[in-house]
Amino acid sequence: MDFFRLLSRGTKLDNTEAFTKNEKVVEDEDKITRSLDFFHTHSIPAPDVCEKKQKRESEPESHEPVIPYRKSKITGPDVPHPLTTFQDLAKRFQVSESLISRIKFPAPTQIQSEAIPGFLHDRDILASAPTGSGKTLAYVLSIAHILQKQQQNTTNGIKALILVPTKELAVQVLDAFTILTRGSTTLKVKVLTKSLLARLTSETGAKAGDVLIATPLRLVRALAVLDFDSLRHLVLDEVDKLFDPAFAPQTDDILAHLRGRTLQKTFLSATLPSSIETLALNLMTAPLRILISPGQAAATVAQKLTYAGSEAGKLLAIRQMLKTGELTPPVLIFVQSVERANALFHELVYDGVNVDVIHGERTETQRRAVVERFKKAEVWVLICTDVLARGIDVHGVNLVINYDVPQSAQAYIHRIGRTGRAGKQGKAVTFFTKDDVESVKIVINVMKESGCAVEEWMMRLGKVDKKTKKQLKRKPVERDNISTQPQKLKRKNHSKDKTNGAEKSAKEE
């Protein structure tokens, strides 16, 4: 489904109606001339694995002021002063010391430095920052502070709504709140699970908490029984996925249901295509647009392309990495379908690899258990699909293997973003065959943008045109089954099995 065709048919996403516009108030301290900020210009640089590119060749023109000395590009009216330390939160915004003491980052990352002040100044925010850069903490900390501060003066009901594309990501956001607000009895944070939805539907007086974290489809089913009269904050985490055709109808219904409310809106993602950015900006009022290190999204990840020749070659390459010790756990392996995930799992199990698999056809309980085992190093290699790439946040992933070339640049960035998180170094290896001649160009382009050395043969492949990009997103490359057994031999064995089966049936008769 084309999301913009959806808009043209009369969908409810409308810049003039979706939300009531309100003027944002910015404190005087943030109107200080930014060129005089001699001592607040530094952020922790990520270690360089790839050679840095000098400059992005083309940036969209903007008439908004841009901070020239930061790696982040931030535009919008009355840009708030960035954080330099988390102690600034106590001085500038009266954030409690107990809240600050639970922050695990030694200093604010670039996205935290820019987004937290914007959030605490009640500004709409559209932000793009690499995976593992601390986007979740930026809004979790802000919401926790605001709601704890206002707790005694507010009524019951949901005050902050966080929309995420996967259940795994919902649990991770809940974990972030739990860590920051440990010991607090005033702030109630809940994930909209099946059991909670059942209670809200059947029990009179059942509450959804102060902060509700939900996936689109389940939230749509609960809209009729949820109380949004007290709602003040709306967060769309992984906004590009939420506006993707798979989630667009549900996201549309949710935004339409919230029409007419005065909300502070925060939309975030690691990747932000121009079409999604335009759509998101039309839903906001005087937003801050924050782009962290454009072109450097994968700068902490050493990226490598490996030509495997065939599907059998991919499996042989994995086994060779096992022999040479290159497969240092924890390792994530991405494939393009559930069937291929299961097939690769069975192949590696026979090789004695400590491996498990996670995909959309496993139950929520099973998926949660697998992720926990992976975090505890009980599972060394985890095979997964793109659907769950955004829901796995495991610190210390050493290696990401793209067993199948991803269908888009966004998918590639989210995959390799599982390693090299929070400034640490990581590795990503992408296998490709002759069938991937078009899709591998997308990977090469991201490598170039992130400053990695690109060989001459890669340059000769050229770029992917828009039509091909759309085709790749809609329809993945058709691949042979995962096996080292030649296709001719497999067909021969299959025919032999059928013959033996027929002979056996004849004898029984």
> Would you list the domain boundaries of the chain?
3-38+62-291, 301-486
| Angle at 51 (CA atoms; ends 49, 52), nearest 5 degrees | 110
Of 435 and 383, the one with more pLDDT: 383
Please provide residue 226's backbone torsions phi and psi, each rounded to the nearest 5 degrees.
-95, 145
In this predicted structure, what is the pLDDT of residue 218?
95
CATH class of 3-38+62-291: alpha beta
Asked whether residue 294 carries a pLDDT value surpassing 80, the answer given is no
What is the mean pLDDT of the segment spanning 272-281? 90
Other CB atoms within a 10 A radius of the CB of residue 71 amount to 14
**Is the Cβ–Cβ distance between 395 and 371 less than 8 Å?**
no
In this structure, the number of other CB atoms found within 10 A of the CB of residue 200 comes to 18
Instruction: Kindly tell me if the per-residue pLDDT of 43 is higher than 60.
Output: no
Q: pLDDT at position 422, please?
A: 66
pLDDT tier at 484, thresholds 50, 70, 90: low
Q: Lowest-pLDDT range, 104-118, 217-231, 396-410, 454-468?
A: 454-468
Over the chain, what is the mean pLDDT?
80
Question: Band of the pLDDT at 298, cuts 50, 70, 90?
Answer: low
Segment 458-467 mean pLDDT? 71
Mean pLDDT along residues 247-255: 95
Structure tokens at 12: 């409810």
Contact yes or no for 452/53 (Cβ under 8 A)? no
Percent of the chain residues past pLDDT 70, beyond the cut = 76
Of 229, 226, 257, 231, residue with least CA distance to 161: 231
The owner of tokens 């639970």 is 102
Confidence band (pLDDT; 50, 70, 90) for 454?
A: confident
How many C-beta atoms lie closer than 10 Å to residue 361's C-beta? 14
Of all residues in the chain, what percent carry a pLDDT higher than 90? 46
User: Which one of 32-46, 51-65, 372-386 scores highest in mean pLDDT?
Assistant: 372-386
Give mean pLDDT, residues 324-340. Answer: 92
pLDDT of the residue at 213: 98
Is the pLDDT at 391 greater than 80? The verdict is no
- Segment 412-424 shows an average pLDDT of 82
pLDDT digits 0-9 by tens, 103-150: 988 899 999 999 999 999 999 999 998 888 889 999 999 999 999 888
Would you call 198 exposed, middle or buried from its count of C-beta atoms within 10 A (0-12, 13-18, 19+)? exposed
Phi, psi of 353 (to 5 degrees): -80, 140
pLDDT reported for residue 108: 93
Span 274-289, average pLDDT: 92
Say if residue 173's pLDDT is above 50. Answer: yes
- Per residue in 12-32, pLDDT (tens digit) is 444 444 444 444 444 444 443
Where does the pLDDT of residue 46 fall: very low under 50, low under 70, confident under 90, or very high at 90 and above?
A: very low
What is the structure's pLDDT at 389? 66
Q: Which of 218, 138, 150 lies closest to 180 in space, CA to CA?
A: 138
Q: Identify whether the C-beta of residue 99 lies closer than 8 Å to the C-beta of residue 144.
A: yes
pLDDT at 176: 94
**pLDDT reading at 371 higher than 90:** no
Q: With residue 365 as reference, give the H or E element that holds it.
A: helix 364-375
Q: Residue 342 pLDDT > 90, yes or no?
A: yes
Asked whether residue 368 carries a pLDDT value surpassing 90, the answer given is: no
User: What architecture is domain 301-486?
Assistant: 3-Layer(aba) Sandwich (3.40)
Tell me if residue 441 falls in helix, strand or coil. helix
**Mean pLDDT, to the nearest integer, of 291-301?**
67
193 and 170 Cβ atoms separated by less than 8 Å: no
DSSP annotation of 30 reads G
Mean pLDDT, residues 206-218: 93
Whether 233 shows a pLDDT value over 90: the answer reads: yes
Three-state DSSP class for 432? strand
Q: What is the pLDDT of residue 420?
A: 80
CB atoms within 10 A of CB 507: 7
What pLDDT was estimated at residue 262? 93
Name the amino acid, one letter, at 497.
D
Q: What is the pLDDT of residue 490?
A: 47
Residue 382: pLDDT above 70? yes
Contact 377, 330 (CB under 8 A): yes
Distance, in Å, from the CA atom of 16 to the CA atom of 477, rounded to the nearest integer, reads: 41
Lowest mean pLDDT, pick from 52-61, 146-155, 209-218, 458-467: 52-61
Secondary structure string (H, E, C) spanning 305-318: EEEEECHHHHHHHH
Q: Given a cut of 90, is residue 170 above it in pLDDT?
A: yes
**3-38+62-291 shares its CATH topology with 301-486:** yes
